[in-house]
Chain A
Amino acid sequence: MAKMHVSTTINGEPEEFLCEPNETMLDVLRDRLNLTGSKEGCGSGDCGACSIMLNDTLVCSCLMLGAEAEGAEIKTIEGMADGLSLHPLQQKFLESAALQCGICTPGMLVAAKALLDENPDPTETEVRFWLAGNLCRCTGYDKIVRAVLDTAEEIRGKA
């Protein structure tokens, strides 16, 4: 099987990789680029643990081929913090204990950031519907939803 050569941008940096034509973006990120923040929960687009941004659109990296990254702008959880300073969502998730085992957390954060970038003042219902594709088996969601709402309020306060 001939490998494909793909040139892309990941978290603002140019990146090149070789992958199989039927390899998912999630497998490329984890197994070829050592970006293991994105998790595989289901591999079928139900759990959202592999959420990334593809050209500023939230997608599941398990439902995307690595080959489709050619010429695209990819953002992953690894690009969310600014050096050592956490993104306000990451900070709030820690402070509010909005995580337990942590498997869903990278996907939750990527998805929540996508929401706040688009809608800085979401209602609780909007947060819950937006995050419906991110499954968490530990927290019961309440702390996650509150952390997202609190972060939104905090960011609006600073703006």
Chain B
Amino acid sequence: MTNIQYLAPTTLDEAVSLYAAAAGSARILAGGTDLLVQLRSGMINPGIIIDIKKIKELNSIEQKADGSFVVGASVSGTQLAKHSSFGKTWPGVLEALNLIGSTQVQGRASLGGNLCNGSPAGDSIPALIAAEATVNIQGPNGSRQLAVKDVLSGPGSTNLSQDEIAVNFIFPTRQLGSGDAYLRMIPRTEMDIAVVGCGVNLTLENNICTSATVGLGAVAPVVLEVEAAAEALVGNKIEEETLERAAEACRAVCNPIDDKRGTIAYRTKVAGVLMKRAATIASQRAEGA
């Protein structure tokens, strides 16, 4: 075993210089619900573990005057659920994050960890894509923003370079008449990995969908944004005919694995079903908003 170090910097600058100096041998610790399992099983063997939870930007939730939200990458599911207004504005994002693991896991699991772990089945990612969330990324040469849909590059890998840290997520200002929802299919009621996950975010004006974004997980090497499904929704009432066209667009982009949880045919079919149901819930929420 190598000489491992644990460090808990209190500023972002300090974290970034430590991470850059480690040149790829460090791992970021947010909630640790993936990292500690990987450490223990010997999948990873980092020289330095950098705990980012003591850094304010990474561990706080802020609602700006324009209604947009900034959520730290290491904020836990429990923290976000307890926030007074986030869940009312973005119920789909919150329900997606809160579906990850048990109550105990919720006490630690974070949006940043779920995204950077890079799983194609990460539950919060389709909802983040649907919400058109962007992530602030900080490296030694400055900061940049990436749309969540552009973060994943393959199973377990991201487009962040080895010296960059995900800092926080920005959720845009909500238009009146908007709603979002996330649904996932698992073979049991709780505590499992998505066979399919679908996030839908839409805006209604006089019952007509004026904008929509659809995120689809666990059916391809990365979580997908399904633009064709959104196009099928926009300009129409959220009714069966519209939903079926959007579902067909979801089925068309599926390129899933075949495993014990679901066959290719099953995952593809369920992708359409979940999109329809999530869009229906999102439109009910939009009507109530």
Contacts and interface: CB of A to CB of B under 8 A. Distances in A.
B104 A1 contact: no
Contact of A45 (B1, B78, B105, B189): B105
B29 A65 contact: yes
Contacts of B51: 65, 67-68
B102 A4 contact: no
Nearest to A68: B51
B66 interface: no
A80 interface: no
A46 B36 CA distance: 13
A44 B104 CA distance: 12
A119 to B, nearest CB: 12
Contacts of A65: 6, 29, 32, 36, 49, 51
Interface string B6-17: 101000000000
Interface in B88-121: 101-105, 107-108
A62 B104 CA distance: 11
B37 interface: yes
Contacts of A4: 6
A116 interface: no
B260 interface: no
Contact residues of A: prevailing secondary structure: mixed
Given A22-B39, A22-B49, A45-B101, A133 B191 contact: yes
A7 to B, nearest CB: 13
Given A67-B8, A114-B103, A132-B102, A59 B108 contact: yes
Given A54-B107, A59-B108, A133 B102 contact: yes
Nearest to A71: B54
A130 to B, nearest CB: 5
Nearest to B41: A44
A106 to B, nearest CB: 13
Nearest to A22: B4
B104 A133 contact: yes
B33 to A, nearest CB: 5
Given A57-B76, A132-B190, A45 B33 contact: yes
Contacts of B33: 45, 63
Contacts of A48: 102, 104
Contact of B107 (A21, A43, A58, A132): A58
Contacts of A20: 4
A65 B51 CA distance: 10
A3 B36 CA distance: 18
A36 B102 CA distance: 23
A9 interface: no
A58 B79 CA distance: 12
A50 B1 CA distance: 25
B5 interface: yes
A70 B8 contact: yes
A35 interface: no
A22 B105 contact: no
Given A60-B104, A111-B103, A24 B36 contact: yes
26 contacts: A1-B1, A4-B6, A21-B6, A22-B4, A45-B36, A45-B102, A46-B102, A48-B102, A48-B104, A54-B107, A57-B76, A57-B107, A58-B103, A60-B108, A62-B36, A63-B37, A64-B32, A65-B32, A68-B8, A68-B29, A68-B32, A111-B103, A132-B191, A133-B101, A133-B103, A133-B191
Given A1-B4, A65-B6, 4 more contacts: A21-B5, A48-B104, A58-B103, A64-B32
Sort A-B residue pairs by CB-CB distance and give the 6 closest, nearest first: A133-B102, A21-B6, A57-B107, A132-B190, A59-B107, A67-B6
